[in-house]
Structure 1
């Protein structure tokens, strides 16, 4: 479904990603791991076309999307939940979710019912401003907004970072449900190694902008974590 080959991605003249290659099959769960500052967020932004320049090949459903704009990539079915959530604080919960619908190609502008089954608080707070929600509730809203576009792939950048513990489990369960029950492919940047081991099919470890290791989740051993992810 998604295939990256020899990707170099730049901010200005500096290459942040260097010769990165990976593949994601339909319905697969891939965790992107590594220390802070090694290029994990840049990789997700590169997939969405949000860096200054990219070299190499990036394919989605067999077509090269390297030259496509961010809105075009979203309409193809790539849903993105950035670090920091980036909801619109003055918009209501309903308005924020409906925004996601505008990336749909079927013209539907209705909120899917299953979003409220996963995150009941959003139905309760439908008319409340997004900026008035807690951090965990805003993260649920950001996920719901991305799902409203009916994506084929969901890309999440540390979705439980800074979230109150009682909501972390709910968000993690929702991500696993979307992958296992609804067949949604997932790319997850995460520091929570136990969750990555539980949820992933495969993993990629980045170090200094390059792939340091990749493999099946069973290969994500304590030795790998010690070598590539401890400080």
Structure 2
């Protein structure tokens, strides 16, 4: 479903990512690991077309997307939950979620009912402003907004960063259900190694803008973690 070959990504004239390569099959979950500042978020932004320039090959669902604008990538079915959530504070919860439907080809503005099964609190707060909710609840809005577009691929950039532990557990359960029960293909940036080992079909480790290691969850050894993830 998603493949990168010899991928370089630039901010200005500087290549932040160099010679990135991976293949992600439909229905699988790929975790992206690495220390802070090594290029993980840049890889997520590159998939969404949010860096200045790319070289190499990036294909989604058999289509070359390297030169497509972000809006076209969303219309193809790529959903993105960035760091910081980017909820619009003055919009209601409902308005924030409905924004995701504008990337749907069917023109419907209906919120899929299963979203409220995943995040029941959002139904209760549907008419409250997004900025009035806690960080964890805003993360649930961000999930709901991305899911409202009915994505084929969901990109999650550290979705549990800075939120309360009880909601961290809920987010982990939702990610697991989306992948295993609903068959959604996922790219996940996550620092929680036990969770990564539990849910990942494969992983890549980024170090200094390059792929330093690849493998399945069984290959994610303590030695590899110590070498590439500890500070």
Q: Distance in 2 between matches of 1:95 and 1:63?
A: 31
Partner of 1:197: 197
Task: Kindly provide the CA deviation profile for residues 175-217 of structure 1, in whole angstroms up to 9, marking residues without a partner as x.
Answer: 1000000000000001110110011110000000000000011
Secondary structure of 2:167's partner?
helix
Partner of 2:90: 90
Q: Distance in 2 between matches of 1:136 and 1:45?
A: 22
Q: Does 1:56 align with 2:67?
A: no
Partner of 1:71: 71
Pairwise mapping of residues 2-151 of structure 1 onto structure 2 (< 5 A)? Answer: 2-151=2-151
Q: Distance in 2 between matches of 1:124 and 1:192?
A: 30
Task: Kindly provide the CA deviation profile for residues 49-103 of structure 1, in whole angstroms up to 9, marking residues without a partner as x.
Answer: 0001111110011111111100000000000000000011110000000000000
Q: Distance in 2 between matches of 1:184 and 1:177?
A: 9
Q: Does 1:230 align with 2:224?
A: no
Partner of 1:188: 188
Q: Distance in 1 between matches of 2:87 and 2:54?
A: 26
Give the alignment's TM-score, normalised by structure 1.
0.99
Q: Distance in 2 between matches of 1:152 and 1:50?
A: 19
Q: Does 1:209 align with 2:213?
A: no
Give the alignment's TM-score, normalised by structure 2.
0.99
Q: Distance in 1 between matches of 2:218 and 2:142?
A: 31
Q: Distance in 2 between matches of 1:108 and 1:224?
A: 46
Q: Distance in 1 between matches of 2:59 and 2:167?
A: 34
Aligned residues: 231
Secondary structure of 1:10's partner?
strand
Q: Distance in 2 between matches of 1:109 and 1:59?
A: 28
Partner of 2:160: 160
Q: Distance in 2 between matches of 1:43 and 1:213?
A: 15
* Structure 1 residue 161 displacement after superposition: 0.3
Q: Distance in 2 between matches of 1:78 and 1:44?
A: 11
* Structure 1 residue 108 displacement after superposition: 1.2
Unaligned runs of 5+ in 1: none
